[in-house]
Each structure stands twice: as structure tokens, then as C-alpha cells.
Structure 1
């Protein structure tokens, strides 16, 4: 049984990934937004409310997980946010806001987890969530803060791979197109959700990448677009 630290466990994508990992027999330690949505109690599921912009809190959580479970096999870091806005619409406050939501929340968990994995003979696996606008400028031009913040997440994954090369630490970024969630269906009522990516499919892919034959993959960025 592997131990997985997962951030954003109660989000639209997080719920599907949490359930997939539990169904596969893993222990999941999921962070939840303080005062936000919760997860129903299940065997091998542990939840912690935590503001991931609190660096000391993130470090304390990683230490607690290691003390209680003996290590961390995989970290799946999902927490983030989104906003539209062109360059002319986007001041630095908007960039800073999404920097905190998308990059800071990822980095402040990844850093202590990387330190722990470096001490484990087995190393470990990171799975991060990128965004197509971070790779495609024509898409990013209408959501500048989002694209810039997610580009840092993608670069972080590259750095984790470089730093973890001799430690059996591997990081992968999944870059989905539009995810089929109730929020997106409401926001885009005229779109065809059959072209989008289902959360359950992303969950299966993450399980495959972290624990299945996908462990052999060394591609840093996996594009999960379906037909969107």
C-alpha cells in the first residue's frame, strides 16, 4: 500500500482522483480548504484542513504524514485557481493572486516533499497540473495571469526532475484541456462536453502515471486534450 499526499481533495478533480486512488488500495492524505467542502470518511483516507499559502503549515503537514505513515510515495498537487484577463486587463495584483493560488500552493508542498523523497531509497513521484494556455500563447493571451502562473508549475516540474534525477524522483505535469465539471458546463452552456476531459479519466491516468506501468515514463508534460 502506497502513501499519497494529495492537495485539493474535495475539488471537482480532486474527488475523482481521491476515489480512484482509494479504489486502487492506496492510503490518501488529502488537504482540504479551511471551511470549504469536505470528503466523506472512508478507510485509508485522512483529511487535513490547511491553507497551502501557509509555508510553515505545509512543512508541518509533511512532517506529520512522514511520522504517521513512514514516508510519502507520491504527491499529487491539484490546488489552483483561474481568471480571465488580457495583458491590458491584468495588473500585477491579478498576477500575484494567481501566482499564490497556482504556484505558491504547489511549491510550498513540493519543497518539503522533495526533501523527504530525497531521503527515501525508493524516491517518489510528483504529479502536477498544468494548463494549455501556459503552453500555447494564442490561448494564454486572454488569461495572462493564469497562463503565467501555470507556466511556473510546468517549470517547477522540470526542476524537480533535474534535481531528482539521481534520487529516483520523477515529476510529471498533466496538461488538460477543458475538464468536464458542473462549473464548466454552467460557464459554457453552448459547448459540447463530449469533447472535454472527464475527471474520472484524468484520475485513471494519474494512477497509471504514479503507480502503474506509467512509472517508466520520463515525459515531463503529458497533454490530456481529448477533442477540445
Structure 2
């Protein structure tokens, strides 16, 4: 039976790969993004652009649209977010608030508002994108790592909160993801060691599957390139 899947940040490189993977196995996919429209269409997907996921009203409107079109919500994949490399001494304190909003508040907002639908599902799933770089932060990674560490803690706390339900809550902790933006930012790096978006999508599909029904509260490193 086709499930109703929401992918936030669904217009980006990773979001597009994840949404396409769910669609390929026959699921009903909704892509929600801050960008007004997707660069590439996904056949059959419900695309909702221009959504500020830190805004409760806008997020609720998007969720209601998905639930009405697809008959509820079974899987929520939190990919929306951003990255800043900035030292504390040479950077802006506003960057800390920006990273918190983009990476943690977005996930917390849509997850909270989706909980009634997810709990009504036969097998609700919440899967978020954390970061390997939030386990131990390097120079310039403080604001980003702090926000992604918040995603890790949100995952653990919510998994325990929902332990008595049919909903599982997990997070993926990738190393550097092979995207055009990252290649442009780090042109001298060895791209072969970077994680492919499709590989991350495969892990997300597993965590969303019935085979992973007993896995919850897990922070799953995804670090192998090639």
C-alpha cells in the first residue's frame, strides 16, 4: 500500500534524491521547500514551495494540504536546513540564531505539527538529517554543529516520548555529501570519499520500512564514499 511521505528541503539535491527514491517504490510524495519552485519536476509529486518551516501557521497549512491530498502522513523526512562555516572570533552571533532556526526549529516545528497524523498511521516514521560534524565540531563549525546536535537530541527525546506508539524516530549522520555546492566550496577535495545522495536515500528508505520497525532513537552514521 502506498504511503504518504513528506520530504522537507525536497527541492534540493539530497531532498530530490530522497523524494525520487520514495516515488520509485510507489509512495505518494510531497516535497516541501522554502524555495518557490523546484528546478526539476518529480512526476506525481505534490510540490509545495515558499514555505517557511519556522512559521507555525505556514507549516500547518502545508501539512493540511498534504494530508488532504494523500490521505494522512506516514513518513516525515526532515532534510531542510543550511550550513555556515564561520569562526566565533571572526563571525557573527546572528549566525548561531540562523543555524538554530534553519536546522533545528524547522525540524521541530513540522514534526510537532505532524505528530497527530503520524500517530494515526499504521507505522509512522520520522527521519531527520543530523551531521557527523556535530559529534565533534571542528574549527568554524560551532554554530552549525550546535544546531545539528539539537537535531540529534530532538531525535533521542522524541523517540523515547513516542516509545509506546507505532512511530519510530531516527536520524542520519552523514559526513560530507557529494553535491555541486560542496564541490564548488571545496574544489581540491577528494570527491570519491564523499557520500552520495542516493546512498543516504537508501538508508532513509530502510529506516522508513517495516524491516526497521524496531529501530528508534538511533543516530546512524553514513560516511562511506564511492
TM-score past 0.5 threshold: yes
State the SS of the aligned residue for 1:216.
coil
* Contact preservation (8 Å) 1:85, 1:143: yes
Go from structure 1 to structure 2 and tell me whether the alpha carbon gap of 1:173 and 1:41 turns closer, same or farther (over 3 Å shift): closer
* 8 Å Cα contact 2:160-2:217 kept in structure 1: no
Instruction: Detail structure 1 runs of 4+ shifted over 4 Å in the superposition.
Output: none
SS in structure 1 at match of 2:163: helix
Corresponding residue number in structure 1 for 2:64: 63
Cα displacement string for residues 110-147 of structure 1 (whole angstroms, at most 9, x for unaligned residues): 101123223x162410110001221113x2x4211101
Q: Which residue of 1 aligns with 2:10?
A: 9
2:124 aligned partner: 124
The answer to whether the 8 Å contact 1:180/1:199 transfers is yes
C-alpha distance in 2 between matches for 1:135 and 1:104: 19
Return the offset for 1:223. 0.3
Give 2:141's aligned residue.
143
Does 2:90 align with 1:89? yes
1:97-108 superposed matches below 5 A:
97-108=98-109
Cα distance in 2 for residues equivalent to 1:129 and 1:121: 22
TM-score computed with the length of structure 1 as normaliser: 0.91
SS of corresponding position for 2:81: coil
Match in the other structure for 1:207: 205
The number of aligned residues is 224
Is the alpha carbon distance of 1:41 and 1:194 closer, same or farther for their aligned partners in structure 2, counting shifts above 3 Å? closer
Residue pair 1:4, 1:75 contacting (<8 A) in 2 also: yes
Deviation of 1:66 after TM superposition, in Å, equals 2.1
Tell me: CA distance 1:196–1:34, structure 2 relative to 1, closer, same or farther (3 Å).
Answer: closer
The alignment partner of 1:166 has SS state of coil
Aligned match of 2:115: 114
C-alpha contact 2:3 2:28 (8 A) present in aligned 1: yes
Q: 1:186 to 1:38 in 2, by over 3 A?
A: closer
Distance change (3 Å), C-alpha of 1:32 and 1:190: same
Deviation at residue 41 of structure 1 after TM alignment: 4.6
CA separation in 2, counterparts of 1:76 and 1:218?
14
Structure 1 gaps of 5+ residues are none
Deviation for aligned residue 1:88: 2.2
For structure 2, which runs of at least 5 residues remain unmatched after alignment? none
Q: Which residue of 2 aligns with 1:185?
A: 183
Distance (Å, rounded) in 1 between the aligned partners of 2:129 and 2:165: 22
**Cα 1:220–1:105 shift into 2, 3 Å:** same
Partners of 2:175 and 2:223 within 8 A in 1: yes
Alignment CA distance shift 1:123-1:204 (3 Å): closer
CA distance in 2 between partners of 1:200 and 1:36 (Å): 22
Return the alpha-carbon distance in structure 2 between the equivalents of residues 184 and 91 of structure 1. Answer: 22
Matches within 5 A, 1:161-200: 161-200=159-198
